[in-house]
Amino acid sequence: MKWFRLYHEMIDDPKIGTLSDSEFRLWVEILCLASIERNSGDTNLTVTETEWKLRKPVAETLKKLLQRGIVTFQKRFDGEQTIFVTKWKLRQYQSDNSTKRVKKYREKRFSNGDETF
């Protein structure tokens, strides 16, 4: 997935709306990393790996996101703790297949013989 959903209601969410600018930016960057990984919210990156990937220290800011419960840690196959976006599956569900939906719409629309060529 080359994109992820970002909901406008987050502006009224106290967990998100009260983040500092640097905390908010890190949260969005973590969303990007999770989207790239395509593993249901797991960035598959440790704190150290995330710092390298983002080219900046994140440990202190990450603590704030952990306290708010918008990210957590998940154990990786090698036993390392990776950064995981909570509620990823709830917010970033798989989209429906638009091909089937469009085909059904076209069949219904043009079933009375008024199809234009």
Q: Which helix (H) or strand (E) holds 71?
A: strand 71-75
pTM: 0.75
User: Residues near 57 by Cβ (< 8 Å), separated by ≥ 6?
Assistant: 51
Going by the DSSP 8-state scheme, the letter that residue 12 receives in this structure is G
Two structure tokens written together for 104: 């059904």
Two structure tokens written together for 30: 């973590």
- Supply the pLDDT for residue 61: 96
- Supply the pLDDT for residue 29: 96
CATH of domain 8-109: 1.10.10
- Which neighbouring-strand residues pair with 75? 81
pLDDT band at 108 (very low <50, low <70, confident <90, very high): confident
Q: For 10-62, write each residue's pLDDT tens digit.
A: 889 899 999 999 999 999 999 999 999 888 889 999 999 999 999 999 999 99
Two structure tokens written together for 18: 């009260």
Q: Domains of the chain: which residue ranges?
A: 8-109
